[in-house]
């Protein structure tokens, strides 16, 4: 690795910092806090609850008022299963038939549940229990109580046949939730093998996916699963973004909606939670909660907030998921009527740019899908992406439709959908067609395609960016709500910047790449290009399900990092920027916009800190200048390449044939170097939470790319190339215009810190108020 000393890096960072500071006319480098920065305590202080925060609800609680935002809060109903509440169940044995107290909380829990449903607060139910094989039940849990020499109650153990089926076994009648509190479609049910809801479940992942920061807890038993979950859920430490195991949620337990099997345990358990000014969180009565939620539900605006208003007389709603879902619900549109409008828009746009779609499905086919959805969900609960129109990059398989990867010599007709396509169809989307890309997803320019070179939606002279070119244009031109794209070198982040939309590349391995043409297989990932950060987040959350068929290299999944420092009422996070040496590549217009973005990030709670950028720079060079490019050859097959090299476009051919020169020794040397970079980058990420970079330093015209197709491609990838190699997650968000052309910034986070970058990006998008896509 190039030996960048710390002092060099500090100097580089400092020089830019000076520029920034000068712009805001405050002195000076000396003011930069020494690393590591100590942030203020994030826990809500007494004074923060005394004033009413806009959009928030405050309820009286111990040790002081509990304040939460309904959209960021989940009601968690713990284990209200027949097995714990009804005669003949597991709780009947545990408690020696002392079930009156736990049964008494059913009505109060139900009224909270109904109030949350009306107010739009997310609802999550948990169920304790085991697989029929009991292989997920540790032996002590099975036998410890029965083994007690004085045991008279534990006549049966988990898995044995009770009055309501096998005790605590999934699928049995007793394992399910009592009739009164049964989940409705759309509510999450977390099946847990342990007492705490976090252990060996997707609970934490789902909460982070949904952007939940606050929990309201009901359920049984207060001495066992309720307190185990409430105690573990709370944030106990701040510096745990990378290591550590705290969960990072603000938890309020509802005293009249929890109970257990021994009367004296309840006050003790609850006091322990709020002891010492809120050791683990809050305890509140449900009465004022229900009242406040009802007031909130009644005052909710009748139209949904939306950032992007679609400028057509025929469609008054925006194309983002939230707005369209609302429009469907109030019957302002139907999937069929939306398709009619969008098809006309697509046909009109094809006159402006004929290179967006490689295959546009016929209007007949798309209308058939719309009618199918209408019939299937008539008078039934709708899936979360019901009637949402999307496009799919043509390197992602749709069964029976050719996958070309913009390379006719490579094209094939897949028998199966890519996993993500199957998931999206089950969620209710309408696929409009397959969109253009740089050949074999190699390139960041978007012009390397025999199906034409798409242009930025803002100016035909400028490139769309790639490789997910058609994806970004289809979203930017408001032809669809979002596009399924991919990102290896930055393909999911660059075109969004050139088209004024959001591009999100989750941590590798979150979304399945089964059925995606490999570019650089070990680092490929699915990207979502959308109009809003919330939409990108929603799609990620919905698709983030482990795929057993996923390539072995991506099977590893870590634990999602909590993001509580930005979830408090006064968000705080640390961010880092590249050194001046790299930022010097920005055009003057982009530089101005980037400096403005830095100020904006400070305004939403970011603190600029110092760190070492050299591991990022070194890793970035490896992607095309090192032997990793040989993985692209492996992806298509060396024999195939040599046979079909003449049929590739000149730039693709040059890159692929150039990659055949590397030896196995080169690959191992580079793997070693990359591992060192990744380790060092991970260390740097302990000093900051977010790396804020310009999505690209320049936006070339078609003519400029023709003159220097490969050199300019490298330049465009200056701030994206290392993202997947170092296992980062990243999201590009619109950040302004230079002479009518858009600019985007990218928030990069360490592996599994998706929740954090999404929240920062959301705050940034909210703050800039830039409307996505074409005006
Ligand atoms: N008390 C007791 O045995 N409880 C459990 O095993 N589970 C729950 O508390 N839900």
Buried b (16+ CB within 10 A) or exposed e, 26-57: eeeeeebeeeeeebeebbbeeeebeeeeeebb
Distance CA 419, CA 421 (A): 5
Count CA atoms closer than 13 A to 437's CA, side-chain side: 33
Pair of tokens at residue 310: 């679609």
Q: Whose CA is nearest to atom 3 of ligand 1?
A: 94
Measured from the Cα of 219, ligand 1's closest atom is: 10
Alpha carbons 109 and 379: distance in angstroms, whole number? 28
The pLDDT score that the predictor gives to residue 246 is 61
Mutate to test the pocket of ligand 1, among 220, 227, 261 (most ligand atoms within 8 A of CB): 220
Spatial neighbors of 609 by CB under 8 A, at least 6 apart, are 32, 33, 35, 36, 37, 574, 575, 576, 687, 688
- Determine the distance separating the centroid of ligand 1 and the alpha carbon of 84, expressed in angstroms: 7
Question: Which position has the token pair 């959308």?
Answer: 530
Closest ligand 1 atom to Cα of 261: 1
DSSP 8-state symbol, 215: E
Q: Who lines ligand 1 at CB under 6 A? A: 79, 84, 94, 128, 195, 220-221, 224-225, 261
Q: Which atom of ligand 1 is found nearest the CA of 94?
A: 3
Ligand 1 centre to CA of 731 (Å) is 41
Which ligand 1 atom is the nearest neighbour of the CA of 168?
6
CB 712 within 8 A of CB 464: no
How far from 307 is each of 196, 318, 621, 744, CA to CA, in Å? 39, 8, 37, 17
The pairing of strands 573-576 and 690-694 is parallel
The confidence score (pLDDT) of residue 474 equals 98
* Token couple for 671: 């793997």
- 190, 203 Cβ separation under 8 angstroms: yes
Which ligand 1 atom sits nearest the alpha carbon of residue 79?
10
Q: Name the residue of 225, 227, 228 to mutate for ligand 1: max ligand atoms within 8 A of Cβ.
A: 225
N- to C-terminal Cα distance for the chain? 45
* pLDDT score, position 237: 53
Provide the β-strand partners of residue 730: 505, 748
Going by C-alpha positions, the residue among 46, 55, 49 that lies closest to residue 119 is: 55
DSSP class per residue in 125-183: EEEE-B-TT-TTS-HHHHHTTTT-TT-SS-SS-TTSEEBTEETTBTTSGGGSBPGGG--
Looking only at Cα atoms, what is the longest distance across the chain?
86
- Going from the C-alpha of 271 to that of each of 84, 267, 330, 697, the distances in angstroms are 23, 6, 46, 56
Structural tokens at position 575: 């961010």
Q: How far is the CA of 277 from the centre of ligand 1 (A)?
A: 27
State residue 327's pLDDT score. Answer: 87
Distance CA 701, CA 680 (A): 36
Give me ligand 1 centre to Cα 261, in Å: 9
Token pair 């709708």 in the structure block, residue? 382
Q: What's the rounded Cα separation, in Å, for the pair 734 and 456?
A: 14
Round to whole Å and give the CA distance between 749 and 727.
9
Centre of ligand 1 from the C-alpha of residue 225, in Å:
6
Task: Count each helix (H run) and each strand (E run) in the chain, helices first.
Answer: 28, 23
Any idea which residues carry the catalytic annotation? Answer: 393, 467, 491
What is the whole-number distance in angstroms between the Cα of residue 65 and the centre of ligand 1?
29
3-state secondary structure of 258: strand
Residue 287 CA, ligand 1 centroid: distance in Å: 26
Residue 181 alpha carbon to ligand 1 centre in Å = 18
| 260 Cα nearest atom in ligand 1 | 1
pLDDT at 5: 31
Residue owning the nearest CA to atom 2 of ligand 1: 224
Measured between alpha carbons, how far is 168 from 136 in angstroms, rounded to an integer? 12
By DSSP bridging, strand 73-78 and strand 214-220 are: parallel
Query: Rounded to an integer, what distance in angstroms lies between the CA atom of residue 432 and that of residue 369?
Result: 10
- Atom index in ligand 1 nearest the CA of residue 84 equals 10
**Atom 8 (ligand 1): residue with closest C-alpha?**
225
Q: Which of 357, 355, 435, 429 is nearest to 390 (CA)?
A: 429
The best mutation among 224, 231, 262 to test binding of ligand 1, ranked by most ligand atoms within 8 Å of the C-beta, falls on: 224
How many whole angstroms separate alpha carbon 714 and alpha carbon 701? Answer: 15
pLDDT for residue 551: 75
Residue whose tokens read 């989307």 = 429
Closest CA to 711 of 625, 631, 615: 625
Contact 502, 615 (CB under 8 A): no
Q: Are 496 and 508 in contact (CB under 8 A)?
A: no
Confidence (pLDDT) at 43: 37
For residue 105, CA distances in Å to 78, 109, 181, 368, 636 come to 12, 6, 11, 48, 61
CA distances from 121 to 2, 251, 288, 678 (A): 51, 15, 16, 39
Q: Which atom of ligand 1 is nearest to 81's Cα?
A: 10
Pocket test for ligand 1, best of 76, 77, 78, 79 (most atoms within 8 A of CB): 79
pLDDT at position 186, please? 87
CA 78 to ligand 1 centroid distance, Å: 10
Task: Identify the pLDDT of residue 31.
Answer: 38
Beta strand extents in 70-109 (DSSP E only) = 73-78
Ligand 1 centroid–CA 90 distance in Å is 9
Report pLDDT for 382.
Answer: 94
Q: What is the 3-state secondary structure (H, E, C) of 30-75?
A: HHCCCCCCCCCCCCCCHHHHHCCCCCCEEECCECCCEEECHHHEEE
Nearest CA to ligand 1 atom 7: 225
Positions in the chain whose pLDDT score sits under 70: 1-51, 235-246, 301-317, 552-558, 562-569
Please check whether residue 533 is in contact with residue 731, taking contact to mean a CB–CB distance below 8 angstroms: yes
Alpha-helical runs (H) found in 223-263: 227-233
Please give the Cα distance from 61 to 288 (Å, whole number). Answer: 10
* pLDDT value of position 55: 84
Q: What region does 538 belong to: left with phi over 0, alpha with psi -120 to 50, or beta?
A: alpha
Ligand 1 center to 18 CA (angstroms): 58
468 with 492: CB under 8 angstroms?
yes
CA distance 622 to 628: 7
pLDDT for 559 equals: 73
């Amino acid at each position: 690795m190039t030996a960048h000393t710390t002092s060099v890096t500090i100097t580089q960072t400092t020089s830019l910092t000076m520029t920034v500071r000068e712009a805001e006319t405050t002195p000076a480098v000396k003011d930069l806090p020494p690393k590591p920065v100590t942030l203020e305590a994030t826990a809500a202080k007494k004074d923060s609850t005394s004033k009413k925060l806009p959009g928030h609800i405050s309820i009286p609680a111990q040790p002081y008022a509990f304040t939460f935002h309904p959209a960021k809060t989940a009601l968690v109903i713990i284990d209200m299963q027949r097995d714990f509440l009804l005669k003949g169940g597991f709780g009947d044995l545990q408690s020696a038939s002392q079930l009156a107290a736990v049964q008494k909380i059913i009505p109060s829990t139900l009224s909270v549940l109904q109030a949350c449903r009306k107010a739009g607060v997310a609802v999550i139910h948990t169920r304790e229990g085991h697989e029929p094989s009991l292989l997920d039940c540790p032996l002590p849990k099975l036998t410890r109580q029965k083994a007690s020499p004085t045991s008279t109650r534990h006549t049966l153990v988990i898995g044995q046949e009770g009055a309501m089926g096998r005790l605590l076994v999934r699928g049995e009648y007793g394992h399910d939730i009592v009739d009164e509190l049964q989940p409705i479609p759309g509510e999450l049910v977390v099946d847990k093998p342990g007492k705490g809801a976090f252990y060996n479940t997707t609970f934490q992942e789902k909460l982070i996916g949904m952007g939940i920061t606050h929990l309201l807890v009901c359920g049984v038993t207060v001495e066992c699963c309720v307190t185990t979950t409430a105690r573990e859920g709370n944030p106990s430490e701040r510096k745990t973004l990378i290591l550590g195991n705290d969960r990072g949620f603000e938890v309020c337990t509802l005293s009249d909606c929890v109970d257990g099997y021994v009367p004296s345990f309840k006050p003790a358990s609850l006091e322990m939670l709020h002891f010492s000014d809120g050791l683990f969180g809050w305890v509140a009565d449900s009465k004022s909660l229900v009242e406040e939620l009802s007031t909130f539900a009644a005052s909710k605006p009748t139209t949904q907030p939306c950032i992007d208003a679609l400028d057509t007389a025929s469609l008054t709603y925006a194309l983002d998921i939230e707005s369209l879902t609302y429009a469907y619900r109030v019957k302002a549109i139907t999937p069929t009527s939306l398709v009619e409008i969008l098809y006309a828009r697509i046909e009109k746009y094809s006159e402006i740019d004929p290179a967006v779609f490689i295959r546009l499905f016929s209007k007949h086919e798309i209308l058939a899908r719309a009618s199918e959805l209408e019939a299937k969900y008539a008078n039934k609960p709708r899936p979360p992406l019901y009637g949402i129109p999307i496009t799919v990059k043509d390197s992602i398989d749709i069964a029976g439709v050719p996958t070309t990867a913009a390379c006719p010599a490579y094209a094939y007709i897949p028998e199966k959908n890519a996993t993500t396509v199957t998931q999206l169809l089950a969620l209710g989307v309408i696929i409009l067609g397959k969109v253009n890309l740089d050949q074999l997803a190699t390139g960041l320019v978007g012009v390397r395609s025999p199906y034409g070179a798409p242009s930025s939606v803002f100016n035909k002279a400028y490139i769309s960016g790639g490789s997910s070119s058609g994806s970004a244009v289809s979203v930017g031109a408001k032809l669809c709500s979002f596009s399924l794209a991919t990102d290896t070198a930055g393909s999911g982040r660059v075109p969004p910047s050139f088209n004024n939309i959001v591009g999100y590349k989750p941590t590798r391995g979150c979304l399945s790449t089964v059925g995606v043409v490999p570019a650089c297989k070990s680092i490929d990932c699915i990207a979502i290009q959308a109009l809003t950060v919330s939409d990108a987040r929603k799609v990620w959350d919905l698709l983030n399900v482990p795929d057993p068929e996923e390539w072995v290299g991506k099977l590893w999944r870590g634990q999602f990092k909590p993001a509580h420092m930005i979830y408090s009422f006064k968000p705080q996070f640390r961010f880092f920027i590249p050194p001046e040496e790299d930022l010097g590549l920005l055009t003057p217009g982009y530089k101005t916009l980037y400096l403005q973005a830095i100020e904006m990030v400070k305004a939403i709670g970011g603190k600029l800190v110092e760190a070492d950028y050299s591991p990022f720079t070194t890793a970035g060079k490896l992607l095309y200048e090192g032997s990793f490019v040989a993985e692209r050859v492996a992806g298509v097959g060396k024999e195939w390449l040599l046979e079909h090299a003449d049929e590739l476009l000149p730039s693709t051919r040059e890159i692929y044939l150039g990659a055949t020169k590397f030896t196995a020794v080169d690959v191992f040397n580079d793997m070693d170097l990359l591992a060192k970079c990744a380790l060092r980058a991970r260390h740097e990420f302990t000093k900051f939470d977010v790396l804020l970079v310009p999505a690209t330093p320049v936006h070339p015209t078609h003519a400029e790319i023709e003159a220097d197709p490969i050199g300019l491609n490298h330049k465009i990838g200056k701030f994206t190339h290392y993202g997947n190699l170092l296992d980062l997650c990243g999201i590009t968000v619109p950040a302004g215009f230079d002479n009518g052309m858009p600019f985007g910034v990218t928030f990069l986070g360490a592996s599994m810190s998706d929740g954090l970058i999404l929240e920062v990006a959301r705050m940034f998008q909210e703050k800039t108020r830039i409307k996505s896509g074409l005006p």
